[in-house]
């Protein structure tokens, strides 16, 4: 089933509490970083890349923050916020090299809140560089199948569908699911050259528009 969606109302997003703006340099972003296992691993293995890891749940964020303090990667910034308003207020058009959305809430009772079905997904694409990628991983085959259909029919984005190896250990959820013998899959979605959205000129709300949005 193809879900038809309304346009995302970015200008209505209030800034997260204690929001701090960022510079417009190229970055990677992980949404729903949990306790930070993937974020810490990624920044350790890719010292030349900057990653911002966003987590909404306070307990998980504090666990990530604590581990980051122990490991000390200078190329990792942790953020305690809801991802949608943070992205709208912080990120510049075509700034992001990679988005990671690993094992998001499958929203079994609210399909409209799944990432590929959300109006916000168009805004997310607008923040992605040409050739940049979104990695969307799940242990629920129906979730991946639906997202795959949305890439084809609604967003018209190229992607690669992969089975995640049994020895992968990027997140605590991934380890648990693979140990239980569940099928974990991911879509690597790419923004092709010439791809346009309705938000390509939309600048971060942290500047002159932030006051009006609050």
The gap between the terminal CA atoms of the chain, to the nearest Å, is: 37
Domain coordinates in residue numbering, the chain: 26-90, 116-196
Reduced DSSP (H G I as helix, E B as strand, rest coil) percent helix, strand, coil of the chain, to 5 = 35, 20, 45
Q: What topology is assigned to 116-196 in CATH?
A: Translation Initiation Factor IF3 (3.30.110)
The three-state (H, E, C) secondary structure of 116-150, written as one string: HHCCHHHHHHHCEEEEEEEEEEECCHHHHHHHHHH
| pLDDT value of position 26 | 97
**For the segment 51-63, what is each residue's pLDDT rounded down to a tens digit?**
999 999 999 999 9
Give the pLDDT score at 207.
57
CB neighbourhood size of 115 (10 A): 21
Q: Same fold for the domain at 26-90 and the one at 116-196? A: no
The alpha carbons of the chain give a radius of gyration, in whole angstroms, of 17
Give the pLDDT confidence score for residue 211 in this predicted structure: 38
Tell me which CATH homologous superfamily contains domain 26-90. Vaccinia Virus protein VP39 (3.40.50.150)
What are the Cα distances from residue 138, in Å, to 102, 132, 161, 185? 7, 20, 11, 6
Query: For position 201, what pLDDT does the model report?
Result: 95
Task: Provide the pLDDT for residue 169.
Answer: 96
pLDDT of residue 206: 78
Pick out the chain residues at pLDDT < 70.
Answer: 1-5, 207-214
């Amino acid at each position: 089933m193809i879900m038809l969606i309304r346009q995302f109302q970015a200008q209505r997003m209030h800034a997260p509490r204690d929001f701090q703006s960022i510079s417009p340099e190229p970055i990677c972003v992980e949404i729903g970083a949990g306790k930070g296992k993937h974020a810490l691993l990624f920044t350790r293995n890719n010292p030349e890349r900057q990653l911002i890891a966003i987590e909404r749940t306070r307990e998980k964020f504090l666990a990530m923050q604590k581990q980051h303090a122990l490991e000390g990667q200078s190329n990792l910034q942790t953020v305690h916020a809801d991802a949608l308003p943070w992205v709208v207020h912080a990120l510049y058009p075509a700034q992001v090299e990679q988005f990671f959305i690993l094992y998001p809430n499958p929203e079994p009772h609210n399909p409209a809140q799944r990432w590929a079905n959300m109006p916000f997904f168009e805004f997310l694409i607008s923040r992605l560089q040409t050739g940049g990628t979104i990695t969307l991983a799940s242990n629920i085959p129906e979730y991946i199948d639906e997202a795959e259909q949305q890439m084809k029919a609604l967003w018209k984005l190229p992607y690669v569908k992969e089975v995640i190896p049994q020895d992968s250990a990027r997140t605590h959820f991934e380890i648990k699911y693979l140990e239980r013998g569940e099928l974990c899959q991911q879509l690597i979605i790419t923004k092709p050259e010439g791809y346009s959205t309705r938000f390509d000129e939309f600048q971060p709300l942290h500047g002159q528009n932030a006051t009006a949005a609050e």
